[in-house]
Chain A
């Protein structure tokens, strides 16, 4: 056994909890999970069957925690695990899976396959079978605080540009503000109108908020790589900043896995409950709407639809809020055939879009989104995740589709009633 294999197998053993044992014991290899996964349905390749992607973990479970596995191993009748058992799964796990969790929704015995994939990644990361692009992003995140290598300087210039654009100050590093807004690197670089939109909405609602220049990154490359160490370090920095600024609520921005990480995973990664509330930006906006603090005027009359970011809706639980917000300003809002908790993943989440090797594959599996859109004949698509936004833009361009993709916060902000 080589060292990489040993590290991988030991890590995987440590990942096996009661849920993993129950899941693998219940799986009858029915293959229904494949029919929910866009990587299988759009390529027809059975190797993308979700439960097949968990083979490395399943083998470790089988050989170490089951009667037949332990018996055949002790009698020398089973094939021992080799490095190929991990290496050969790198493409399947990192290129061919976004951990969107659609498979989890359909398994007849209720296996949370996305949960298992997350654990498989821990083993892959320990053994070193992670796409180079992701590893580099992780290094940048650790060094600079952002996987794109952005620094406080980048934030400040984006903030300054937005202040000029909207004509109001944007609070940064304000201690004692009620809300701390995290950002994803995309929002600093490509969609900085998000920052301006926040300013306009919060000013109109009269609530105090702030950004942090010390640490602003909401995304977590550690989660994407599957390395708990990196994940804990990165989320620890975010939590530390929120504690330092003594905010009551941390707002997760338009980013899918950022939300599940900070809202649902962070306390468990850090081993302690968080001393502040965590809300997704749409939860905040919807709360303001319900409290009468979000007044809009006019409407966006284009025929539009909403793309549910998987980690916000299906895995995160924020489903109703975007609909309530869109119904404020979009009279021609139509749902895709498969929406809400059964929507189709954009194909770029979980680190897939950061991995250049996966580009042809993720563009291929966009076909399912294309079919959903072709049915609707919309001009605009609204979403709440900037990574989805990039992926959707890529896919629409590759397919020559003339649909504009906009962020929901920006859409709401552009229809704010004058005070």
Chain B
């Protein structure tokens, strides 16, 4: 190789030593810089932020994940909740549904059903003391009965479809398979969402129809302490006893809660965010299982549980003995107003009172 004159003239042993030293120190400096330079921002950050130093990337994802607090970002999508990439509360809500609502709901509904069956097995139907008298009193007018049964039909379609939605996974999927259940779920969802708004009309009608006699009054507390006479003795009551009044207010309040939360859930067109849906669902779910559970008690007492009760809501009339036994203060009012109907009053007025007169329903 041909060297340059400078390099050849200068290439003595000393120069070579000097060059080696320069190379060594450069190399060491390079290593030092490689090691130290990246630590300078750390040091700066350390000095600035104390012991915790954040990775800016992890900072971003922590905000997205909303681990510490709710953070709403900005986006070009003009939509409610568009600034939330991952809804942290969603998991809490999901856990509430799966771990609290579903199991406790099942316990509540199943438990009350079980208690009712137990009560029936032990106590049986509460019979009319002394049997029927044959005299009857009008307890519920046609309007009242229509409003009640209208609410019943709508409530049961909604309750059933709601229960399918909540418990279908556990009860129906094993029976129908996932594909089969998807048909049932779709059908029940459509029924639920379409008929839901009618329930508001029903509950409002129920409220205005029955509120008059359902205000709590003197004697209600006593009735409750006697458990309506179950704990022995006679419990005095007016047209509606304390138990019925509690059911009325429970049904109206829970019913309205179901309607409001249901309408929010059914019509996402009003700019509700996820948090509104989550809370609505919580209210809806809890109200539903409570209302269904308590309704079993109402249904039991109105049918099998007490002799002479169901006919009050089907024919409108009750036997005078039933009225006196269960609603003595109302019975007094009716008796004083002369509204107790004697047997045989239903014969054709003024005409031929006995046989040979058309009695039969139209047949084909």
Q: A92 to B351: give the CA distance in the assembly, Å.
A: 9
Tell me whether B352 and A363 are in contact (CB under 8 A): no
Which of A43, A58, A88 is the one whose CB lies under 8 Å from B358? A88
Q: Which residues of A contact B351 (CB under 8 A)?
A: 91, 95-96, 357-358, 360-361
Q: Which residues of B contact A92 (CB under 8 A)?
A: 357-358
Tell me whether B364 and A72 are in contact (CB under 8 A): yes
Q: A363 to B351: give the CA distance in the assembly, Å.
A: 11
Q: A72 to B362: give the CA distance in the assembly, Å.
A: 16
Tell me whether B352 and A357 are in contact (CB under 8 A): yes
Tell me whether B356 and A87 are in contact (CB under 8 A): yes
Tell me whether B364 and A96 are in contact (CB under 8 A): no
Q: Which residues of A contact B12 (CB under 8 A)?
A: none
Which of A69, A79, A91, A362 is the one whose CB lies under 8 Å from B352? A91
Give residues 54-113 of A contacting B (CB, 8 Å).
Answer: 55, 58, 62, 68-69, 72, 78-79, 87-89, 91-92, 95-96
Q: A78 to B364: give the CA distance in the assembly, Å.
A: 7
Give residues 316-364 of B contacting A (CB, 8 Å).
Answer: 346, 348-352, 356-360, 362-364
Q: At the interface, yes or no: A52 with Cβ under 8 Å from chain B? A: yes
Q: At the interface, yes or no: A17 with Cβ under 8 Å from chain B? A: no
Chain B window 34-55, contacts with chain A (Cβ cutoff 8 Å), 1 for yes, 0 for no: 0000000000000000000000
Tell me whether A62 and B364 are in contact (CB under 8 A): yes
Q: A47 to B364: give the CA distance in the assembly, Å.
A: 17
Q: A364 to B356: give the CA distance in the assembly, Å.
A: 21
In the complex formed, the residue of B with least CB distance to A62 is B364
Given A88-B359, A89-B358: A43 and B364 within 8 A (CB)? no
Q: A58 to B351: give the CA distance in the assembly, Å.
A: 24
Q: At the interface, yes or no: A375 with Cβ under 8 Å from chain B? A: no
Q: A331 to B15: give the CA distance in the assembly, Å.
A: 149
Q: A358 to B364: give the CA distance in the assembly, Å.
A: 30
Q: Which residues of A contact B360 (CB under 8 A)?
A: 88
Tell me whether A96 and B348 are in contact (CB under 8 A): yes
Which of A29, A47, A87 is the one whose CB lies under 8 Å from B348? A47
Q: At the interface, yes or no: A45 with Cβ under 8 Å from chain B? A: yes
Query: Interface residues of B, CB < 8 Å — how many?
Result: 14
In the complex formed, the residue of A with least CB distance to B349 is A43
Q: A79 to B360: give the CA distance in the assembly, Å.
A: 13
Tell me whether A43 and B362 are in contact (CB under 8 A): no
Q: Looking at the assembled complex, report how far the CB atom of A83 sits from the nearest CB atom of chain B, in whole angstroms.
A: 11
Tell me whether A91 and B362 are in contact (CB under 8 A): no
Q: A45 to B348: give the CA distance in the assembly, Å.
A: 7
Q: Which residues of B contact A72 (CB under 8 A)?
A: 364
In the complex formed, the residue of B with least CB distance to A58 is B362
Which of A69, A88, A91, A360 is the one whose CB lies under 8 Å from B364? A69
Given A47-B357, A88-B357, A88-B359: A361 and B349 within 8 A (CB)? yes
Q: Which residues of A contact B364 (CB under 8 A)?
A: 62, 68-69, 72, 78
Q: Looking at the assembled complex, report how far the CB atom of B317 sits from the nearest CB atom of chain A, in whole angstroms.
A: 13
Chain A window 252-276, contacts with chain B (Cβ cutoff 8 Å), 1 for yes, 0 for no: 0000000000000000000000000
In the complex formed, the residue of B with least CB distance to A94 is B351
For the side of the interface on A, what is the size category? 20 to 34
Chain A window 13-49, contacts with chain B (Cβ cutoff 8 Å), 1 for yes, 0 for no: 0000000000000000100000000000001010110
Tell me whether A79 and B358 are in contact (CB under 8 A): no
Q: A96 to B358: give the CA distance in the assembly, Å.
A: 12
Given A88-B358, A91-B357: A79 and B349 within 8 A (CB)? no
Which of A43, A55, A78 is the one whose CB lies under 8 Å from B350? A43
Q: Which residues of A contact B348 (CB under 8 A)?
A: 43, 45, 47-48, 91, 96, 361
Q: Which residues of A contact B362 (CB under 8 A)?
A: 29, 52, 55, 58
Q: Looking at the assembled complex, report how far the CB atom of A119 sits from the nearest CB atom of chain B, in whole angstroms.
A: 18
In the complex formed, the residue of A with least CB distance to B346 is A45
Tell me whether A47 and B358 are in contact (CB under 8 A): yes
Q: A91 to B350: give the CA distance in the assembly, Å.
A: 11
In the complex formed, the residue of B with least CB distance to A79 is B363
Which of B346, B349, B352, B357 is the one whose CB lies under 8 Å from A364? B349
Q: A48 to B357: give the CA distance in the assembly, Å.
A: 11
Q: A327 to B332: give the CA distance in the assembly, Å.
A: 53
Q: Looking at the assembled complex, report how far the CB atom of A345 sits from the nearest CB atom of chain B, in whole angstroms.
A: 15
Q: Looking at the assembled complex, report how far the CB atom of A135 sits from the nearest CB atom of chain B, in whole angstroms.
A: 17
In the complex formed, the residue of A with least CB distance to B353 is A360
In the complex formed, the residue of A with least CB distance to B360 is A88
Chain B window 173-216, contacts with chain A (Cβ cutoff 8 Å), 1 for yes, 0 for no: 00000000000000000000000000000000000000000000
Q: A359 to B356: give the CA distance in the assembly, Å.
A: 18
In the complex formed, the residue of A with least CB distance to B363 is A79
Most B C-beta atoms less than 10 A away, residue of A69, A78, A88? A88
Q: Looking at the assembled complex, report how far the CB atom of B167 sits from the nearest CB atom of chain A, in whole angstroms.
A: 41
Q: Which residues of B contact A357 (CB under 8 A)?
A: 351-352
Q: Which residues of B contact A47 (CB under 8 A)?
A: 348, 357-359
Q: A72 to B363: give the CA distance in the assembly, Å.
A: 12
Q: Looking at the assembled complex, report how far the CB atom of B136 sits from the nearest CB atom of chain A, in whole angstroms.
A: 13
Most A C-beta atoms less than 10 A away, residue of B348, B358, B360? B358
Q: A363 to B349: give the CA distance in the assembly, Å.
A: 10
Q: Which residues of A contact B357 (CB under 8 A)?
A: 47, 88, 91-92
Q: A270 to B351: give the CA distance in the assembly, Å.
A: 35
Q: A387 to B285: give the CA distance in the assembly, Å.
A: 69
Q: Which residues of B contact A364 (CB under 8 A)?
A: 349-350
Q: A292 to B231: give the CA distance in the assembly, Å.
A: 88
Q: Which residues of B contact A358 (CB under 8 A)?
A: 350-351
In the complex formed, the residue of B with least CB distance to A89 is B358
Q: Which residues of B contact A48 (CB under 8 A)?
A: 348
Most A C-beta atoms less than 10 A away, residue of B348, B356, B362? B348
Give residues 359-375 of A contacting B (CB, 8 Å).
Answer: 359-364
Q: Looking at the assembled complex, report how far the CB atom of A341 sits from the nearest CB atom of chain B, in whole angstroms.
A: 27
Q: Which residues of B contact A363 (CB under 8 A)?
A: 350
The 7 A-B pairs of least Cβ separation, nearest first, read A360-B350, A361-B350, A43-B349, A88-B358, A364-B350, A361-B351, A91-B351
29 contacts between A and B (CB under 8 A): A29-B362, A43-B349, A45-B348, A47-B348, A47-B359, A48-B348, A52-B362, A55-B358, A55-B362, A68-B364, A87-B356, A88-B358, A88-B359, A88-B360, A91-B348, A91-B351, A91-B352, A91-B357, A92-B358, A95-B351, A95-B352, A357-B351, A357-B352, A358-B351, A360-B351, A361-B348, A361-B350, A363-B350, A364-B350
Task: Identify 6 new A-B residue pairs, CB closer than 8 A, beyond the known A68-B364, A360-B349, A362-B350.
Answer: A43-B348, A43-B349, A79-B363, A91-B357, A357-B351, A361-B350
Q: Which residues of A contact B (CB under 8 A)?
A: 29, 43, 45, 47-48, 52, 55, 58, 62, 68-69, 72, 78-79, 87-89, 91-92, 95-96, 357-364
